[in-house]
Chains A and B, each alone.
Chain A
Amino acid sequence: MPATLEANQDLNHLQIAGVTKTYESVRALSNVSLVVKRGEIFCLLGPSGCGKSTLLNVIGGLITPDSGSIELGGRDITAIPMQKRNVGFVFQNYALFVHMTVRDNIAFGMEVRRRSSAEISRQVEALLNLTRLHGKEERYPRQLSGGEQQRVAIARALATEPEILLLDEPFSNLDAKLRVELRSEMHRVQRESGVTTIVVTHDQEEAFALGDRIGLLDAGSLVQVGTPEELYARPQTEFAARFVGESNLFSGQTESRGGTMGIVCEGHFIPIPGKAGGVDERETLLVRPERVSISAERSASDPVFAGTVREVTYRGVGWRYAVDTAIGRLLVVDPTARSRRADVGGAVYLNWKVDDSFVLPSTAEVRM
């Protein structure tokens, strides 16, 4: 992070420090610390049960943490009940007021705050515009499509001009095509309103499409925080490498052979990039499938591994191969090819540039 950003306290809109929550001996959150910047979309990503929803509920005040503190806009809100936090919360099932019209749903928070009716109408108008719900204001939730219901939930949450917008798996109840549409719609709404936003999702693609930054959670711990590019190119742990995108991972002891550093995996030497570290340390190497090239002829440069194709899948955008080699099964994605390079059972050679591989930081060994 550039020093200029760090200097400006206001840019750190939400600060979570050492938050822990335990349910009957199960650690839902384990010492989570996190900073969310003003105006960004921050995605909490992780498999189900990793604690991402619990963390969102803690931020919203719906769950009280056992320990730790939460600061929002420079104010410690750890002990403040959800009624007084001024957060906008969008529930997974939207939780709309089914007995109220779209207009009344959106106006609810402002009526609680006893705003004047002129101000309420003006704000409702603005939000109907923002979420493109014009003409639907007198409808009841059950008369709306899933996508429209979601937009009502977002408009209702934004109506009180919250400090922060929290969304819990907002796209999980929608079909695939609509999901992609609403994702960019939500992105537009967030950019126009400029509200700091946290989105919980289990879908890596969604996190990449929406998130300015992503926080990856596993078993109640924050594993890594970074931009989508950082998470994909430089995962800090094996879990991060496996959860974000597809991966080929090799573990072994480091060795130096002919001035090249590498690891020995299944008796085979695989060169690793970067400055020479110590010899005889256990390291894990990551090679993304699209960095591996597949061909029938042996290429000149190392590393090269011979293998047999076990699976070929047409992806629309190129092909995906599963290839058995001496160092294990490798995934290869070949997005630019016009035709398939090998059939199942075919003998192929796999090759990649050493600089396209990445050694996971050694902390990876801690969490296996």
Chain B
Amino acid sequence: MRFNLLRVYSWLMAALIVMPIAVVVTVSLTAEGSVRFPPQHWGLRWFLEAFTERSFVQAFLFSVEAAAAVAVIASVLGLTSALALVRYSFRGSKFIQGFVMAPLLLPHLVIAIGLLQLFAALGITTSPGGLIAGHVAVVFPFVLRLSLGGLAGIDPNVEKAAYTLGATRLYVFRRVTLPLMASPVLSGAVMAFLLSFDETVISIFTSVPGRTTLPVMIFNYAEQRSDPLIAAVSSIMVIVAIIAIAIADRSVGLLNLLSGGQVGELNELNH
């Protein structure tokens, strides 16, 4: 009895999460000219429309570009910071560890306004670098967490063993530490990509004219019009996210890692 209640509850919670997405995807599959749920006639008309709408395509490409840059930068920063925090515990390393987690707690709006004023003061108002920097700031805690977890899973004796065999620091990093960190770092990169691809608030404040991300584009469009084009573009975003997660899960076990599973399953990767 209790078991069944738990099951019903679980399905309800899952439905609550999936329902809005399902509605959007359903609406996007309409052949009509206005939003109606459920649609009377089905078709891919609005998807074709989305792909021919130049501004959307440009925004999509810029979003992918920015998210890729954010993923690379955040991963490198996350890995190197984790190494510094774990391998060389220095004065205040605990404080810094707490400090870099702050973006997790702060409303993005606060960060966005801060960044806007900072960039204005620095005179960088026309470069997409500001947007990327902003994104890196908010995704960094996630990436760092994964790297710290991965590093904690590496037996320090393994690195010492490499040293006793004559390897230099750089050699040990390249041949031992980095391969053992591949799984958490790649997972972090995918996380960073998705969070950046999805980020709206920071992007609204830091977008420069002509270089707008897809979420900002959707936001602006939805303010003025409400045709199914928005739903189609949103569906494309969902599909991109699903594909990214599927690839990451296949190759490095992202879902396992995020749900607290064992780190170090990367051995599977080598086969």
Contact = CB atoms under 8 A, between A and B. Distances in A.
Interface of A: 60-62, 81-89, 91, 93, 95-99, 108-109, 112-113, 140, 142, 156-157, 159-160
B160 A112 contact: no
Given A82-B160, A140-B270, A95 B155 contact: yes
A224 B155 CA distance: 34
Contacts of B259: none
B157 A91 contact: yes
Nearest to B180: A99
B266 interface: yes
Given A89-B161, A91-B157, A160 B270 contact: no
Q: Is the interface of B mostly helix, strand, loop or mixed?
A: helix
B176 A97 contact: yes
B179 A99 contact: yes
Contacts of A157: 164-165
Given A95-B155, A157-B164, 15 more contacts: A62-B160, A83-B167, A87-B164, A88-B164, A91-B160, A93-B157, A95-B158, A97-B158, A97-B161, A108-B162, A109-B165, A112-B171, A113-B166, A156-B161, A156-B165
A348 B255 CA distance: 71
B267 A60 contact: no
B164 A96 contact: no
Nearest to B154: A98
A112 B157 contact: no
Nearest to B176: A97
B166 A160 contact: yes
Nearest to B266: A99
B219 interface: no
Contacts of A87: 164
Contacts of A91: 157, 160-161
B117 interface: no
Most buried by A among B160, B166, B266: B166
Given A93-B155, A93-B157, A95-B158, A62 B266 contact: no
Chain B interface category by residue count: 20 to 34
Given A89-B161, A93-B157, A98 B171 contact: no
Given A91-B157, A93-B157, A112-B171, A99 B267 contact: yes
Contacts of B162: 97, 108
17 contacts: A81-B163, A82-B160, A82-B164, A83-B163, A83-B167, A87-B164, A91-B157, A91-B161, A93-B155, A93-B157, A95-B161, A96-B161, A97-B158, A108-B167, A112-B171, A140-B270, A160-B166
Contacts of A81: 163
B168 A83 contact: yes
Contacts of A61: 164
B264 interface: yes
B166 A86 contact: yes
A111 to B, nearest CB: 8
Contacts of A97: 158, 161-162, 176
Contacts of B163: 81-83
A91 B158 CA distance: 9
A60 B166 CA distance: 12
A60 B158 contact: no
Interface string B167-207: 11001000110011000000000000000000000000000
Query: 9 tightest CB-CB pairs across the interface, nearest first?
Result: A109-B165, A95-B157, A89-B164, A95-B161, A112-B166, A91-B157, A95-B158, A99-B179, A112-B167
Contact of B158 (A88, A96, A113, A142): A96
Contact of B267 (A84, A86, A108, A140): A140
B263 to A, nearest CB: 12
Contacts of B176: 97
Contacts of A160: 165-166
A160 B166 CA distance: 9
Contacts of A109: 165-166
Given A97-B176, A99-B180, A112 B266 contact: no
